[in-house]
Chains A and B, each alone.
Chain A
Amino acid sequence: MALLPASKRLADQQDLRTDQELIAAANAGDGDSFEALYYRYREWVTGLAYRLTGDHALALDVLQETFLYFLQKFPGFVLTCQLKTFLYPAVRNLSIAARRKAQRAQGDAAVPEELEGPDIPPPGGDEIDAVIHGLGAEHREVLLLRFVDGLTVPEIAAALEIPEGTVKSRIHSAIGKLRADARTKEFFMQ
Protein backbone atom coordinates (compact mmCIF):
# COMPACT_ATOMS: atom_id res chain seq x y z
CA MET A 1 0.00 0.00 0.00
CA ALA A 2 1.44 3.36 -0.99
CA LEU A 3 1.70 5.72 1.94
CA LEU A 4 1.48 9.47 1.68
CA PRO A 5 4.84 11.19 1.73
CA ALA A 6 5.30 13.21 4.93
CA SER A 7 5.88 16.41 2.91
CA LYS A 8 2.50 16.00 1.22
CA ARG A 9 0.78 15.43 4.56
CA LEU A 10 2.44 18.53 5.99
CA ALA A 11 1.40 20.58 2.96
CA ASP A 12 -2.20 19.42 3.45
CA GLN A 13 -2.10 20.35 7.13
CA GLN A 14 -0.74 23.79 6.31
CA ASP A 15 -3.10 24.57 3.44
CA LEU A 16 -4.14 28.18 4.05
CA ARG A 17 -7.34 28.02 2.05
CA THR A 18 -10.60 28.33 3.99
CA ASP A 19 -12.92 25.35 4.38
CA GLN A 20 -15.27 26.94 1.85
CA GLU A 21 -12.45 27.28 -0.71
CA LEU A 22 -11.34 23.71 -0.17
CA ILE A 23 -14.91 22.46 -0.52
CA ALA A 24 -15.39 24.44 -3.75
CA ALA A 25 -12.20 22.91 -5.15
CA ALA A 26 -13.24 19.42 -4.02
CA ASN A 27 -16.62 19.89 -5.69
CA ALA A 28 -14.68 20.56 -8.90
CA GLY A 29 -12.91 17.21 -8.48
CA ASP A 30 -9.75 18.27 -6.64
CA GLY A 31 -8.91 15.37 -4.33
CA ASP A 32 -6.01 17.27 -2.72
CA SER A 33 -8.49 19.73 -1.23
CA PHE A 34 -10.39 16.89 0.39
CA GLU A 35 -7.14 15.57 1.80
CA ALA A 36 -6.41 18.99 3.27
CA LEU A 37 -9.84 18.97 4.93
CA TYR A 38 -9.20 15.47 6.20
CA TYR A 39 -5.94 16.46 7.89
CA ARG A 40 -7.53 19.66 9.22
CA TYR A 41 -10.36 17.79 11.00
CA ARG A 42 -8.90 14.31 11.55
CA GLU A 43 -7.77 14.95 15.13
CA TRP A 44 -10.98 16.71 16.05
CA VAL A 45 -13.16 13.91 14.67
CA THR A 46 -11.08 11.21 16.34
CA GLY A 47 -11.01 13.06 19.66
CA LEU A 48 -14.76 13.62 19.56
CA ALA A 49 -15.39 10.00 18.61
CA TYR A 50 -13.22 8.87 21.49
CA ARG A 51 -15.06 11.29 23.78
CA LEU A 52 -18.32 9.67 22.69
CA THR A 53 -17.30 6.03 22.56
CA GLY A 54 -14.50 5.82 25.12
CA ASP A 55 -12.71 3.31 22.92
CA HIS A 56 -9.71 3.88 20.66
CA ALA A 57 -10.60 1.24 18.09
CA LEU A 58 -14.21 2.43 17.86
CA ALA A 59 -13.01 6.03 17.52
CA LEU A 60 -10.88 5.00 14.53
CA ASP A 61 -13.86 3.18 12.98
CA VAL A 62 -15.97 6.30 13.46
CA LEU A 63 -13.22 8.41 11.87
CA GLN A 64 -13.34 6.24 8.74
CA GLU A 65 -17.12 6.14 8.60
CA THR A 66 -17.38 9.89 9.11
CA PHE A 67 -15.03 10.77 6.28
CA LEU A 68 -16.58 8.20 3.95
CA TYR A 69 -19.98 9.76 4.70
CA PHE A 70 -18.49 13.22 4.07
CA LEU A 71 -16.89 11.98 0.84
CA GLN A 72 -20.27 10.86 -0.50
CA LYS A 73 -21.45 14.49 -0.32
CA PHE A 74 -19.15 15.41 -3.23
CA PRO A 75 -19.69 16.80 -5.77
CA GLY A 76 -22.38 19.32 -4.94
CA PHE A 77 -21.65 19.72 -1.23
CA VAL A 78 -22.78 23.09 0.11
CA LEU A 79 -21.47 24.15 3.50
CA THR A 80 -23.94 26.44 5.24
CA CYS A 81 -22.35 26.35 8.69
CA GLN A 82 -18.99 25.53 10.25
CA LEU A 83 -17.65 22.17 9.13
CA LYS A 84 -17.51 21.07 12.77
CA THR A 85 -21.23 21.76 13.06
CA PHE A 86 -21.83 19.66 9.96
CA LEU A 87 -19.60 16.81 11.10
CA TYR A 88 -20.71 16.67 14.73
CA PRO A 89 -24.09 14.91 14.23
CA ALA A 90 -22.43 12.40 11.89
CA VAL A 91 -19.72 11.61 14.45
CA ARG A 92 -22.29 11.40 17.21
CA ASN A 93 -24.67 9.07 15.33
CA LEU A 94 -21.84 6.90 14.06
CA SER A 95 -20.47 6.69 17.61
CA ILE A 96 -23.85 5.53 18.91
CA ALA A 97 -23.99 2.91 16.14
CA ALA A 98 -20.41 1.80 16.82
CA ARG A 99 -21.07 1.40 20.54
CA ARG A 100 -24.27 -0.52 19.92
CA LYS A 101 -22.49 -2.82 17.51
CA ALA A 102 -19.64 -3.38 19.94
CA GLN A 103 -22.01 -4.10 22.81
CA ARG A 104 -24.06 -6.50 20.71
CA ALA A 105 -20.86 -8.27 19.73
CA GLN A 106 -20.02 -8.61 23.43
CA GLY A 107 -23.52 -9.93 24.08
CA ASP A 108 -24.50 -7.07 26.40
CA ALA A 109 -28.20 -7.07 27.15
CA ALA A 110 -28.53 -3.31 27.51
CA VAL A 111 -27.77 -1.72 24.18
CA PRO A 112 -28.05 2.06 24.50
CA GLU A 113 -30.61 3.89 22.33
CA GLU A 114 -28.72 7.13 22.97
CA LEU A 115 -25.23 7.87 24.11
CA GLU A 116 -25.20 8.65 27.74
CA GLY A 117 -22.60 11.25 26.94
CA PRO A 118 -18.92 11.73 26.56
CA ASP A 119 -17.00 9.07 28.32
CA ILE A 120 -14.08 11.11 29.54
CA PRO A 121 -11.30 9.52 31.57
CA PRO A 122 -11.83 9.64 35.33
CA PRO A 123 -10.27 12.61 37.04
CA GLY A 124 -6.74 11.99 38.11
CA GLY A 125 -7.11 13.32 41.61
CA ASP A 126 -7.19 16.93 40.49
CA GLU A 127 -10.02 18.95 42.01
CA ILE A 128 -10.90 20.90 38.86
CA ASP A 129 -11.04 17.69 36.85
CA ALA A 130 -13.30 16.20 39.48
CA VAL A 131 -15.70 19.14 39.31
CA ILE A 132 -15.77 19.09 35.51
CA HIS A 133 -16.32 15.33 35.52
CA GLY A 134 -19.10 15.77 38.03
CA LEU A 135 -20.98 18.17 35.77
CA GLY A 136 -22.57 15.33 33.84
CA ALA A 137 -22.21 14.42 30.20
CA GLU A 138 -24.67 16.92 28.70
CA HIS A 139 -23.23 19.90 30.52
CA ARG A 140 -19.63 18.89 29.94
CA GLU A 141 -20.28 18.41 26.23
CA VAL A 142 -21.71 21.89 25.69
CA LEU A 143 -18.77 23.39 27.57
CA LEU A 144 -16.31 21.49 25.39
CA LEU A 145 -18.13 22.53 22.21
CA ARG A 146 -18.39 26.15 23.33
CA PHE A 147 -14.99 26.78 24.93
CA VAL A 148 -12.71 24.22 23.30
CA ASP A 149 -14.19 23.80 19.83
CA GLY A 150 -15.23 27.46 19.70
CA LEU A 151 -18.74 26.85 18.39
CA THR A 152 -21.43 29.49 18.88
CA VAL A 153 -24.73 28.72 20.60
CA PRO A 154 -26.65 28.34 17.28
CA GLU A 155 -23.86 26.09 15.96
CA ILE A 156 -23.97 23.91 19.07
CA ALA A 157 -27.75 23.73 18.77
CA ALA A 158 -27.41 22.60 15.13
CA ALA A 159 -24.69 20.10 16.02
CA LEU A 160 -26.57 18.56 18.93
CA GLU A 161 -29.92 18.93 17.14
CA ILE A 162 -31.49 20.62 20.14
CA PRO A 163 -33.06 24.10 20.57
CA GLU A 164 -30.78 27.08 21.15
CA GLY A 165 -32.59 27.75 24.41
CA THR A 166 -31.58 24.32 25.68
CA VAL A 167 -27.95 24.98 24.77
CA LYS A 168 -28.01 28.33 26.59
CA SER A 169 -29.63 26.75 29.59
CA ARG A 170 -27.06 23.91 29.71
CA ILE A 171 -24.13 26.35 29.43
CA HIS A 172 -25.67 28.59 32.06
CA SER A 173 -26.36 25.70 34.38
CA ALA A 174 -22.87 24.19 33.92
CA ILE A 175 -21.22 27.52 34.69
CA GLY A 176 -23.56 27.92 37.65
CA LYS A 177 -22.39 24.57 39.04
CA LEU A 178 -18.73 25.52 38.56
CA ARG A 179 -19.38 28.86 40.22
CA ALA A 180 -21.16 27.24 43.15
CA ASP A 181 -18.64 24.47 43.78
CA ALA A 182 -16.23 25.29 46.57
CA ARG A 183 -13.36 23.75 44.57
CA THR A 184 -13.78 26.05 41.55
CA LYS A 185 -15.65 29.12 42.78
CA GLU A 186 -12.40 30.92 43.67
CA PHE A 187 -11.59 31.16 39.92
CA PHE A 188 -14.76 33.21 39.39
CA MET A 189 -13.75 35.68 42.06
CA GLN A 190 -10.41 36.58 40.52
Chain B
Amino acid sequence: MNDNIPAPIEERLRKIADGMTVLVPSAIDEAILSRARERFAEIRRRRAKVQCLWWASAAAVLVTMGFVASAFLNAPSYERADIDRNGRVDILDAFALARRIQQGNASGLDFNNDGVVDRADVDAVAARAVKLKKGSA
Protein backbone atom coordinates (compact mmCIF):
# COMPACT_ATOMS: atom_id res chain seq x y z
CA MET B 1 0.00 0.00 0.00
CA ASN B 2 1.29 3.46 -0.87
CA ASP B 3 1.74 5.50 2.32
CA ASN B 4 0.64 8.80 0.84
CA ILE B 5 -2.54 10.64 1.56
CA PRO B 6 -4.74 12.54 -0.87
CA ALA B 7 -4.32 16.31 -1.00
CA PRO B 8 -7.76 17.15 0.56
CA ILE B 9 -6.97 15.03 3.62
CA GLU B 10 -3.47 16.50 3.90
CA GLU B 11 -5.03 19.94 3.66
CA ARG B 12 -7.45 19.07 6.46
CA LEU B 13 -4.60 17.86 8.67
CA ARG B 14 -2.87 21.20 8.07
CA LYS B 15 -6.04 23.03 9.02
CA ILE B 16 -6.27 21.00 12.22
CA ALA B 17 -2.67 21.93 13.06
CA ASP B 18 -3.24 25.57 12.11
CA GLY B 19 -6.36 25.64 14.24
CA MET B 20 -4.17 24.89 17.24
CA THR B 21 -2.15 28.05 16.90
CA VAL B 22 -1.86 29.83 20.20
CA LEU B 23 -1.26 33.54 20.25
CA VAL B 24 1.93 34.14 22.20
CA PRO B 25 1.83 37.37 24.22
CA SER B 26 4.91 39.55 23.73
CA ALA B 27 5.54 39.42 27.49
CA ILE B 28 6.24 35.70 27.13
CA ASP B 29 8.58 36.32 24.19
CA GLU B 30 10.38 38.89 26.27
CA ALA B 31 10.57 36.63 29.34
CA ILE B 32 12.20 33.86 27.29
CA LEU B 33 14.45 36.12 25.24
CA SER B 34 15.67 38.15 28.20
CA ARG B 35 16.79 34.88 29.83
CA ALA B 36 18.46 33.99 26.54
CA ARG B 37 20.25 37.35 26.40
CA GLU B 38 21.57 36.85 29.94
CA ARG B 39 22.73 33.36 29.07
CA PHE B 40 24.50 34.41 25.88
CA ALA B 41 26.14 37.37 27.61
CA GLU B 42 27.49 34.86 30.14
CA ILE B 43 28.67 32.58 27.29
CA ARG B 44 30.49 35.53 25.67
CA ARG B 45 32.08 36.51 29.00
CA ARG B 46 33.26 32.94 29.53
CA ARG B 47 34.65 32.75 25.98
CA ALA B 48 36.47 36.05 26.45
CA LYS B 49 37.96 34.74 29.70
CA VAL B 50 39.09 31.51 28.02
CA GLN B 51 40.53 33.51 25.13
CA CYS B 52 42.37 35.75 27.59
CA LEU B 53 43.80 32.71 29.35
CA TRP B 54 44.77 31.25 26.00
CA TRP B 55 46.62 34.39 24.97
CA ALA B 56 48.30 34.62 28.37
CA SER B 57 49.44 30.99 28.09
CA ALA B 58 50.67 31.57 24.53
CA ALA B 59 52.58 34.67 25.68
CA ALA B 60 54.10 32.72 28.59
CA VAL B 61 55.20 29.95 26.23
CA LEU B 62 56.75 32.50 23.84
CA VAL B 63 58.59 34.28 26.65
CA THR B 64 59.92 30.95 27.96
CA MET B 65 61.01 29.95 24.47
CA GLY B 66 62.73 33.34 24.12
CA PHE B 67 64.63 32.79 27.35
CA VAL B 68 65.68 29.29 26.34
CA ALA B 69 66.77 30.45 22.88
CA SER B 70 68.64 33.40 24.29
CA ALA B 71 70.42 31.21 26.86
CA PHE B 72 71.29 28.79 24.09
CA LEU B 73 72.56 31.49 21.71
CA ASN B 74 74.58 33.26 24.41
CA ALA B 75 76.17 30.08 25.69
CA PRO B 76 80.00 30.30 25.28
CA SER B 77 81.42 27.97 22.66
CA TYR B 78 84.58 26.12 23.38
CA GLU B 79 87.09 24.50 21.10
CA ARG B 80 87.11 20.77 21.34
CA ALA B 81 90.67 20.72 22.59
CA ASP B 82 89.86 23.22 25.36
CA ILE B 83 89.42 20.37 27.81
CA ASP B 84 89.24 22.53 30.96
CA ARG B 85 86.87 25.02 29.26
CA ASN B 86 88.87 28.07 30.24
CA GLY B 87 88.51 29.67 26.83
CA ARG B 88 91.90 28.83 25.37
CA VAL B 89 93.87 25.73 24.39
CA ASP B 90 97.06 25.53 26.41
CA ILE B 91 99.36 23.00 27.99
CA LEU B 92 96.93 22.62 30.92
CA ASP B 93 94.46 21.05 28.50
CA ALA B 94 97.09 18.46 27.52
CA PHE B 95 97.57 17.69 31.25
CA ALA B 96 93.80 17.52 31.76
CA LEU B 97 93.46 15.08 28.86
CA ALA B 98 96.29 12.93 30.20
CA ARG B 99 94.53 12.84 33.58
CA ARG B 100 91.22 11.84 31.98
CA ILE B 101 92.87 9.09 29.95
CA GLN B 102 94.37 7.79 33.18
CA GLN B 103 90.94 7.85 34.84
CA GLY B 104 89.35 6.11 31.83
CA ASN B 105 87.15 9.13 31.24
CA ALA B 106 88.31 10.33 27.82
CA SER B 107 85.89 8.83 25.35
CA GLY B 108 85.29 11.02 22.29
CA LEU B 109 88.56 12.93 22.73
CA ASP B 110 90.36 11.36 19.78
CA PHE B 111 92.16 14.48 18.53
CA ASN B 112 94.48 12.76 16.03
CA ASN B 113 91.63 10.69 14.59
CA ASP B 114 93.44 7.36 14.85
CA GLY B 115 90.48 5.60 16.45
CA VAL B 116 91.90 5.41 19.97
CA VAL B 117 92.28 7.95 22.76
CA ASP B 118 95.79 7.67 24.09
CA ARG B 119 99.03 9.52 24.69
CA ALA B 120 99.22 10.48 21.01
CA ASP B 121 96.10 12.60 21.56
CA VAL B 122 97.77 14.30 24.56
CA ASP B 123 100.70 15.11 22.26
CA ALA B 124 98.33 16.48 19.63
CA VAL B 125 96.72 18.83 22.19
CA ALA B 126 100.14 19.87 23.49
CA ALA B 127 101.33 20.55 19.92
CA ARG B 128 98.20 22.65 19.37
CA ALA B 129 98.89 24.54 22.59
CA VAL B 130 102.37 25.54 21.59
CA LYS B 131 101.57 26.22 17.96
CA LEU B 132 102.04 29.88 17.09
CA LYS B 133 99.05 31.72 15.75
CA LYS B 134 99.34 33.25 12.30
CA GLY B 135 100.71 36.74 12.49
CA SER B 136 102.06 36.42 16.03
CA ALA B 137 105.71 37.39 16.54
Binding site for B on A (CB under 8 A): 1-4, 9, 26, 28-31, 34-35, 38, 42-43, 46-47, 49-51, 56, 59-60, 63-64, 67-68, 71, 74-75, 120-121, 126, 128-129, 132, 143-144, 147-149, 168, 171-172, 175-176, 178-179, 184, 187-188, 190
Once bound together, how far apart are the Cα atoms of A30 and B19, in whole Å? 34
Task: Please give the distance in Å from A154's CB to the nearest CB on chain B.
Answer: 14
Asked whether, in the complex, the Cβ of A3 is within 8 Å of the Cβ of B17, the reply is no
B41 at the interface (CB under 8 A from A): yes
With contacts A43-B21, A132-B12, A175-B1 taken as known, whether A74 is within 8 angstroms of B39 at the C-beta atoms is yes
With contacts A144-B17, A178-B5, A184-B9 taken as known, whether A60 is within 8 angstroms of B22 at the C-beta atoms is yes
Q: Mark B13-31, 1 if CB is under 8 A from A, else 0.
A: 1101111111011111111
CB-CB under 8 A from B20, the residues of chain A are 47, 50-51, 120-121
Asked whether, in the complex, the Cβ of B47 is within 8 Å of the Cβ of A28, the reply is yes
A63 CB contact (under 8 Å) in B8, B28, B40: B28
Interface residue range, chain B:
35 or more
Asked whether, in the complex, the Cβ of B17 is within 8 Å of the Cβ of A47, the reply is yes
Q: Identify the interface centre among B5, B20, B26: most chain A CB within 10 Å of its CB.
A: B20
Once bound together, how far apart are the Cα atoms of A187 and B7, in whole Å? 8
Task: Please give the distance in Å from B127's CB to the nearest CB on chain A.
Answer: 72
Main secondary structure of the interface of B (DSSP, over half): helix
With contacts A46-B21, A46-B24, A71-B36 taken as known, whether A128 is within 8 angstroms of B9 at the C-beta atoms is yes
Asked whether, in the complex, the Cβ of B9 is within 8 Å of the Cβ of A187, the reply is yes
Asked whether, in the complex, the Cβ of A175 is within 8 Å of the Cβ of B5, the reply is yes
CB-CB under 8 A from A35, the residues of chain B are 33, 36
B32 at the interface (CB under 8 A from A): yes
- Given A3-B26, A63-B22, output 18 extra A-B contacts at Cβ < 8 Å: A2-B30, A4-B26, A9-B29, A29-B44, A30-B40, A31-B37, A34-B40, A35-B33, A38-B36, A51-B20, A64-B32, A71-B36, A143-B13, A148-B10, A148-B14, A148-B17, A149-B17, A172-B1
Asked whether, in the complex, the Cβ of A187 is within 8 Å of the Cβ of B30, the reply is no
Asked whether, in the complex, the Cβ of A51 is within 8 Å of the Cβ of B36, the reply is no
Once bound together, how far apart are the Cα atoms of A20 and B17, in whole Å? 26
